[in-house]
Chain A
């Protein structure tokens, strides 16, 4: 095949990949900015004749009998932010300490503990949902922020430990040895020598933790009802129970997906490294 023709096919294939990846999401965005009447035309005009923020506006601001939706949306957005950020910080602290112990202290049985932790990632959430529901009802954690945070931590933490462990292992141990000779304790070495060198690792772990907690659906769906309802649960309700107008669901979907997607696009280097270093979701 001549070179020019080959280049042509390559660019054609790349264009196909770009369209396949972006088109569905782009259509969601376009829909969220459209008036319903413009999307009902046959044949459909892919670029609508006018754009509107009406669908977004209606999610946030009260208008007559629809006030419930607006309140729900604000409330759930706040819950999601609060739960994801708390989960992220707790996981960061617990994860760094545990990962340091596994990577550097290498005591007997530490490998077994890592494996046990990885194994918990493969327990299907649906197995845990039924007994957790029973337990949480007993200790009054249903529909509480704390309940969902605890569950989210257990999902996110193994991943954080796995990634941080890899990161710590890549820092030369001579640096730490030098600090130890100067009289530093292990913890002193962790905070004064290792952590200052781990910036990128910490950033990637925080992003992973935030995205995982923000996107989590099943547990939030089962364990929250009103007070602690997160934004994914609300979107699920919009399209099932509440039967909200599609274009408003689209607007809510765009808003809910913006934090994880923007974070992922901005910090993609960190994420790609993280994904490939453990083959863990």
Chain B
């Protein structure tokens, strides 16, 4: 049922970047990682790209490791399954492991990749708020421009607009280390308990100083704005205060931060209210 279009199948990153820099049939192919988003689009024939660049064979883009600076490197083609199974991910970014568990079900988890989730640029992407909350750099590469590293914060200029320049591929991610003593948090409100697209997805990182006040508070949300967003007003309302004192204010901040819409999965009122309540409950529990 798939649209009949050319599929390029490079076996190295170099070859893939060359195909992107110099497309054989003139028009730049659409990169595909695990295909869990693009194949659905192709099957539905709603939007047909001119050709596809199948990245699945690029093993060099797989794997997790901890860098000297304490960041966690995750290759763009790492699947959710490999993240769930990785002791490094469990130790350094447990919220990402939680997020990965909520993606689709087992078959999707063993095919869907972190790079694909980021490049697909859906505001509902399950992993994206984790990357925002914990902090993360995106590493991209092109044949002519070499490597480029940029912060994931601000990576999306607007709805489904990722800062991926023509000819670039996402190579991987450097996820920042959690601050000492910090805890992380993840909560997805989906339409059901598996194979669910999010109505609201939230992630947070928090740490308290010796006096019990919040020294770190980073909160991010998905499905509540055209892109995944940091909840700036919520964070500002919480920093420096004791969790139980500021929880309500943080929740109110979250309600102000989000700009949700009504769609087929939920409605704006629900998304706003639930964002506030969940953030408040989490801060209260710190």
Instruction: Please determine whether chains A and B interact with each other in the same assembly.
Output: no
A residues near B, CB below 8 A? none
B residues near A, CB below 8 A? none
